[in-house]
Structure formats: structure tokens, C-alpha cells
Amino acid sequence: MKLLAISDTYIPPDFMSEGLAELQNIGIDVEVRHWEHKSLINLQQDNLAIETGGPDAVQLPDEITRNLEPYDIVVVQFAPISKSFIEKTKNLKLIGTLRSGAENIDVDFATQRNISVINTPGRNARAVAECTMGLILSEIRNIARSHASLKNKKWRRSFPNSNAIPELCGKTVGLVGYGAVGHLMAGYLDAFGSNIIAYDPYYKGDPAPAQLVPLETLMKTSDVISIHARLTDQNHHMIGEPEISMMKPTAILVNTARSGLVDEKALIKALQAKSITGAALDVFDEEPLPANHPFIKLENVTITPHLAGSTIDSFRNNPKLMAVQIKSCLSNSADIPVINNIRPSLNVG
């Protein structure tokens, strides 16, 4: 059985090879091909184009797509697996993505070809959750603004929220999306003594320490709103002008998930009008953020360049997590994160 792994700037060839190495021991021949980019920014630009335009938005070079017929398994992170890529395969039975979403894979065509598509849910959940906590604290406690001022030799003690700088203890934090990241956030916030509520229409089970509430309730009652949902066609701009208008004037909005979940123009309008206190954002409709973008000019926003999920631990562990999933496929485990309802049919001969 042959596996083709496509590495990238975030998960380089050595990380990919090391993470999938244990599959060699059970008879799977692993080959790694590298999708080259000049910089992380170039990769992020391609990734954003794929997320908005689908797997056909960016073409892989010929050295990546040559001689695909022998491979039974393809493993990728950001590389696009389009219809034309799949058409070049002959034995392909499984596509594994080292992320929770599958925007870079033509899942519909894979399904037509009876190819299973699996993901790695929660693969960078801890990285995102830890960064989100940092952004929340940075925004409400003015950490980034203070740092920038001191670097400019200014001893600054006056900020947009100076009259009402809060503590997280006793405050209500609303989590929009209660998957792997949301659960980690709930644990961290519980340690801070926050009152935790969450909105997730797909969640089943005991949500403790959070309480599940309707989105309208969350928007109206939260002091901090943090978004952790997956972006789909159905929830695009789920936080729009009507929802933002429900927020407390003292509340802040935090987004480390996908920019498309929030109506960026409506958020900018609210921040400019100071109808909400602030925001902390790691994702944007246009990346890199243009030099003249309103977010750069606003005083009541903390911004970072799409780095919430980028930790060395996350990138090293992702291929290892996929190796575990593939071994589960070989043992016909029931607990496999299949996203297109086609059970993997693998057999090492």
C-alpha cells in the first residue's frame, strides 16, 4: 500500500516523514512531496484563495501531481485536492486532511469516486484556545496597546475602556461553537471564575462547565464573545449587524476561527461608533491586512496576523494524529472522523 503526503511551509517534509513513520512499520510505503512557497505569507494567501474559491482556485505544480496512479492514500494539510487531481489517481481509497475543515478537498467528487475523506478534528485546538485566551486578556487589559506605547517611549495609562477595565472572574463569556476549541476554552475560563455560556446547535452531550443557550441570548448577555465555529455555507456572517447590535456596549468580540463567520464591515462600523467596547481578531477577509485597513487605525481592537493555530507542537503532532487515524482505518475502528460518510476500505497486502 502506498501513501503520498504533501508537505508545506507549516508542516515541512521532516515533520511529515517523522509523523507518518510508524505507518512504514505496518507495510505502508510513505512518500513525501513538498509544496514549495517563498514564505508563510505566500502559503496563507493560497490557503485563503482555496478557502474562498475551493480546491480549483490554486493549481499544484506538476512535480506534485505526477504519477498519482499507484497511491492508495493521500495526506495533505493545505494543498488543494481538486477534481483534476483525483482524476489522475487509480487506486485512491482515502484522503486525509491534517485540519478540521476540508475546504481544500473536492469532497463531492471524492464521494462520487467512493473515496473516503477523513480529517483530524481538534488538531490545533490547544494552540488556538491558548492564543484566544491571550487575545481576550490583551484586549480587555490593554496589554498590546501598552506595549506599543512603551516601545514608542510613551507612558500611557488612558485607553478606550479605561473607565471600565474588567476582570474575567464573574463575567459572562459566550462561546459560539462548542467543539474541541470551545471545550478547552471553557476549561480555561472556568479556572478564571467566569460564567460560561455556549451556542452550538450541533452539540450533543453534557456541556459542563458551559450552559447551552440560543445565539440571541449569548449575544445579549455576554461580556466577552469568542467565536469557535467551523465556517459553512449556512453560517456565513452568522454574526452580522443584527447580532452585533445586540451586544452590551461594554462587551468585546473575539474571532480566532474564520473571518467569514463575522460581517467584517458591520464589526468595523460598531467599533468606529464605539457601540461595543472592542474586538480581538486573528482572521480577516483580506490577508495580509492592507496598510490602510480600518482595523489598523482603530484604537479599540487587538489584531494578530492569523497565527492562533501556529505552534511547533501543533505542526509536529498533526501527522502523528493522522497516522493514528489511518491505523484505525486498517483495524475497522468505529471511531474514525469520516466527513463524507464513506467508510475507508484499506488492506495492507
Which active-site residues does the annotation give?
Answer: 258, 287, 306
For the four alpha carbons of 50, 83, 314 and 234, in that order, the dihedral sign comes to positive
CA 251/CA 318 separation, integer angstroms: 35
CA 22/CA 28 separation, integer angstroms: 9
Q: Output phi, psi for 71, to 5 deg.
A: -85, 130
Torsion of CA 173, 317, 324, 35, to 10 degrees: 110
For the four alpha carbons of 325, 329, 333 and 335, in that order, the dihedral sign comes to positive
CB 86 within 8 A of CB 106: yes
Count Cβ atoms within 10 A of the Cβ of residue 125 and give its class: 0-12 exposed, 13-18 middle, 19 or more buried: buried
